C-alpha cells in the first residue's frame, strides 16, 4: 500500500514537471536552444583558450587552471541543485507540501523527498560531470569522492537553508515620488547587503578571490594568475548583481504598480552595476597596488569591472529570472572582452558600444518580465 502511494506521488511529480514544460513549451524551447548555443560557444572558446592562449604555461599550471574551474563549476551546480530541492520540497506550492496538508503519511513524504532529491542530483550533477569530463583527467576514485561531496553539499544546502522573507519599506511609495532613482538604487544595495542570500555569498567569494592576489608573485606566470583572479572576482561580483536582478524581475509587479518604467529600471540597474564594478576595481587593484606596474594594475582593474558592467545590457535579453542563463551570457561575452583586454587595454572601449546596442535591444522588455 505504501509503495503504491509513493509511486502515485512520484508520478504526480513527474507529470507536474512535464505539464509545466508543455504549458511553456515555446519559452522553454527558446531558452534551451539559447543555452545549448551558449554552451557550445563556451566549450569552443574555452578549448581554444587552453590549447592556444595558455600553451606557453607549464602543464602543472594548465592542470591547476582546469581543476579550479571544474571545482567552481561543481560547487555552483551543487548550490543551484540544493536551492531547487529546497523549493521543490519546502515551498508552500510544492507537491510535498500539498500532500502533507492532505494528511499524507510522514514516512511516505520522507521517502518521496529522498527519491526526488536523488533524482534531481543525478540529473543536474550528471549533466555537469558530462561536460567536465571532456576537460579533466581525474581518476575514478577522485571523481567518485568529489561526486559524493558535491551531492552532500546539495543535500545540506536544501536541508539547512531557510528562505528569508523580504520586507518592503512602508514609505516606499511616498519616497518614489520625490527621489525615485536613488530609492530604487539604494534599496537594491540594501537587499544585496542584508537580505539576498545568493548575492551575499557571491560577494563574499568575490572578496576572498581578490584576497588571493597577495599570494601570487608578480612574475611572468604569476601575472596570468593575477589576470585570472581579477576576472573571477569580477564575475562573482556580477553574479551577486545577477541574483538581485533575478529577484527583482520575479517580483516586479510591485514596482510596476507604483509606476516604475522600463527606462527607470534600466537606469537603476546601470547605476547599480557601476557601484558594484567600482567595488570590484577597488578591491582587486587595491590589493595588487604595491605588487606590479601601473599598466598591469590598470589591466587588472579593467578585467575586474568588465563582468559587472555587462549585466544591465544582458539582463533582459533572454530570461532575466534565470540566474544560470544570465551568468552564462555574461561569462561568454566577458571572456571575449577579457581576452582582448589581456592583449591591449584599449579593448575596454568595446564596453560603451556593447552597452548602446544592449540598451536598444532590450527596449520595453521590463514590462514583459
Higher pLDDT, residue 329 or 102: 329
Whether residue 95 is predicted with pLDDT greater than 50 in this model: the reply is: yes
Task: Give the per-residue pLDDT at 56.
Answer: 57
Three-class secondary structure of residue 56 per DSSP: coil
Q: CB within 8 A of 47, min separation 6: which ones?
A: 135
The overall average pLDDT reported for the chain is 78
Region of 162 (left: φ > 0; alpha: ψ -120 to 50; beta: rest) is beta
Q: CB within 8 A of 291, min separation 6: which ones?
A: 213, 214, 218, 226
Task: Give the per-residue pLDDT at 68.
Answer: 79
Q: Measured between alpha carbons, how far apart are the two ends of the chain, in Å?
A: 45
Rounded CA separation 323/83 (Å): 12
Rounded CA separation 337/343 (Å): 10
**C-alpha cell of 188?**
537594491
Helix axes 59-90, 140-160, angle to 10 degrees: 40
Query: Lowest-confidence range among 126-135, 257-266, 333-342?
Result: 257-266
- Rounded mean pLDDT, 253-259: 76
Question: Which among 161, 226, 225, 230 is positioned nearest to 196, based on CA atoms?
Answer: 161
Whether residue 162 is predicted with pLDDT greater than 60 in this model: the reply is: no
Provide the pLDDT confidence category of residue 167 given band limits of 50, 70 and 90: very low
The distance between the two most distant Cα atoms of the chain, rounded to a whole number of Å, is 73
Three-class secondary structure of residue 341 per DSSP: helix
- Rounded mean pLDDT, 336-356: 85
Whether residue 173 is predicted with pLDDT greater than 70 in this model: the reply is: no
Cβ count near 307 (within 10 Å):
31
- Rounded mean pLDDT, 230-246: 89
Whether residue 243 is predicted with pLDDT greater than 60 in this model: the reply is: yes
- Rounded mean pLDDT, 266-272: 86
Task: Give the per-residue pLDDT at 115.
Answer: 83
246 within 8 A of 323, measured Cβ to Cβ = yes
Helix (H) or strand (E) holding 151: helix 140-160
In eight-state DSSP terms, residue 318 is S
Task: Give the per-residue pLDDT at 200.
Answer: 86
Three-class secondary structure of residue 134 per DSSP: coil
Higher pLDDT, residue 53 or 226: 226
In eight-state DSSP terms, residue 194 is I
- Rounded mean pLDDT, 235-243: 90
Question: Which among 90, 78, 85, 72 is positioned nearest to 153, based on CA atoms?
Answer: 78
Give the model confidence (pLDDT) of 295-316 as tens digits.
677 888 888 899 999 988 888 8
Task: Give the per-residue pLDDT at 293.
Answer: 67
Give the model confidence (pLDDT) of 49-76 as tens digits.
656 655 555 666 667 777 777 888 888 8
Three-class secondary structure of residue 217 per DSSP: coil
What percent of the chain has pLDDT above 70?
83
Amino acid at each position: 500500500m505504501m509503495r503504491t502511494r509513493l509511486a502515485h506521488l512520484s508520478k504526480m511529480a513527474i507529470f507536474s514537471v512535464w505539464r509545466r514544460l508543455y504549458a511553456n513549451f515555446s519559452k522553454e524551447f527558446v531558452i534551451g536552444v539559447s543555452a545549448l548555443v551558449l554552451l557550445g560557444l563556451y566549450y569552443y572558446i574555452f578549448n581554444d583558450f587552453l590549447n592556444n592562449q595558455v600553451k606557453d604555461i607549464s602543464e602543472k599550471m594548465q592542470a591547476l587552471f582546469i581543476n579550479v574551474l571544474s571545482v567552481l563549476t561543481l560547487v555552483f551546480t551543487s548550490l543551484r541543485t540544493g536551492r531547487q530541492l529546497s523549493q521543490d520540497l519546502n515551498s508552500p506550492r510544492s507537491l510535498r507540501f500539498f500532500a502533507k496538508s492532505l494528511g499524507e503519511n510522514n514516512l511516505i513524504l520522507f521517502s518521496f523527498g529522498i527519491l526526488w532529491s536523488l533524482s534531481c542530483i543525478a540529473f543536474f550533477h550528471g549533466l555537469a560531470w558530462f561536460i567536465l569530463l571532456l576537460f579533466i583527467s581525474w581518476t575514478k576514485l577522485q571523481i567518485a569522492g568529489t561526486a559524493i561531496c558535491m551531492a552532500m553539499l546539495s543535500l545540506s544546502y536544501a536541508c539547512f537553508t531557510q528562505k528569508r522573507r523580504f520586507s518592503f519599506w512602508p514609505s516606499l511609495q511616498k519616497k518614489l515620488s520625490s527621489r525615485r532613482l536613488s530609492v530604487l538604487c539604494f534599496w537594491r544595495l540594501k537587499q544585496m547587503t542584508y537580505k539576498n542570500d545568493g548575492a551575499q555569498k557571491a560577494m563574499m567569494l568575490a572578496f576572498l578571490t581578490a584576497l588571493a592576489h597577495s599570494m601570487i608573485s608578480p612574475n611572468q606566470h604569476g601575472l596570468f594568475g593575477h589576470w585570472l583572479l581579477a576576472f573571477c572576482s569580477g564575475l562573482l561580483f556580477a553574479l551577486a548583481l545577477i541574483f538581485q536582478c533575478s529577484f527583482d524581475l520575479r517580483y516586479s509587479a510591485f514596482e510596476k504598480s507604483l509606476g516604475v518604467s522600463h527606462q527607470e529600471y534600466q537606469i537603476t540597474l546601470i547605476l547599480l552595476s557601476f557601484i558594484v564594478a567600482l567595488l570590484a576595481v577597488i578591491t582587486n587593484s587595491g590589493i595588487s597596488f604595491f605588487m606590479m606596474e601601473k599598466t598591469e594594475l590598470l589591466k587588472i582593474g579593467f578585467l575586474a569591472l568588465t563582468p559587472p558592467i555587462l549585466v544591465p545590457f544582458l539582463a533582459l535579453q533572454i530570461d532575466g529570472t534565470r540566474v544560470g542563463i544570465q551568468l552564462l551570457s555574461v561569462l561568454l561575452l566577458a571572456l571575449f572582452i577579457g581576452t582582448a583586454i589581456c592583449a591591449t587595454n584599449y579593448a575596454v572601449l568595446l564596453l560603451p558600444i556593447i552597452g548602446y546596442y544592449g540598451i536598444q535591444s532590450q527596449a520595453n522588455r521590463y514590462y514583459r518580465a
